[in-house]
Structure 1
Amino acid sequence: MARMIFINLPVKDLERSKAFYEAIGFRNEPKFSNESGAMMVLSDTISVMLLTHDFYSSFHTRPIGDTHKESRVLLCFSCDSREEVDRIVETVAANGGKIDQSPKSEAEPGGPMYGRDFEDPDGHQWEPMWMDPAFAEQGAHPVEEAAGA
């Protein structure tokens, strides 16, 4: 069986967060959703667990950070094309998220990598990105050489 990743995110308004993630292409899995949490499926191996603050807090004793003020994690996922990156980010903007918050933009026309970023309604940072398959086969070395490493 392939390994799976379950990203657990605390959310203030579960229904609002479910609607937001569904709008940008995640699928809700009702078998693992209730009034305290919702499983949102991105792919066969990656899901996001949206958990109310009370339920999230039942897993540990540390306070929930304010992701609108502090960065906790940057979640990056691959897309099949530049157009898909743009479609997702524009859908985020239309559904209450903040887009293009990063001072570093990888949205260079014609480059081998293309990424944009967004924040969900709870301030969690995401980056949909596309990478030219030929560039990906070369690995990181061309990036290092271009940076003068």
Structure 2
Amino acid sequence: MAHTLFVNLPVADLDRSKKFFTELGFSFFGMTDDMASVIISERTQVMLLARPTFATYAKTEVADPNTTTQVILVIGLDNPAEVDEFVDKALAAGASAVGEPITAGGRYQRGFADPDGHQWSALCLVNPAG
């Protein structure tokens, strides 16, 4: 049975976040004044919630993504060129680079932090021999 995954992220400035994800080429579903749903794929969406709205759903204090890491969101792509294109687009749209590219273990992966500090990676599985 296939399920849909909704990942919820608190954001400080919803308009800035919508602009950032639009510049990465994503579209949205279900935008309101305090939340917007970024369509990652047919069965995956990232819900951007204004921090006060996010806090109403959270059981504990909302973490500051600039000082703690609770999750790393990974976008799977088809090849290293797509990884580079995606991360370069994110950096041009206001993200900051995180770490060095990883080329070991049959993968190519690069990381970045979005304007709110949430950590993301772009990943493709490659042939370990080449």
Is the structural similarity TM-score above 0.5? Answer: yes
User: 1:26: which partner in 2?
Assistant: 26
Q: Which runs of 4+ in 1 moved over 2 A?
A: none
Q: 1:84 aligns to what?
A: 82
1:120 aligns with 2:114: yes
1:125 to partner: Cα distance = 0.5
Amino acid at match of 1:36: D
Matches of 2:35 and 2:115, distance apart in 1: 16
Greater fraction of residues in strand = 2
Aligned sequence identity (%): 33
Q: Between Structure 1 and Structure 2, how many residues are aligned?
A: 128
**Runs of 5+ unmatched residues, structure 2:** none
State the alpha-carbon separation in 1 of the partners of residues 69 and 54 from structure 2.
18
1:2 deviates by 2.4
| AA in 2 matched with 1:40 | V
Deviation digits for residues 56-89 of structure 1 (CA, Å, limit 9, x no counterpart): 0111242211111111111112101111110111
Higher-helix-fraction structure: 1
Structure 1 gap segments, 5+ residues each:
136-149
Q: Aligned with 2:33: secondary structure?
A: coil
What TM-score, normalized by structure 1, do the two folds share? 0.79
Q: TM-score, normalised by structure 2?
A: 0.90
For the pair shown, the structure with the greater C-alpha radius of gyration is 1
Partner of 1:130: 124
* CA RMSD of superposed structures (Å): 1.7
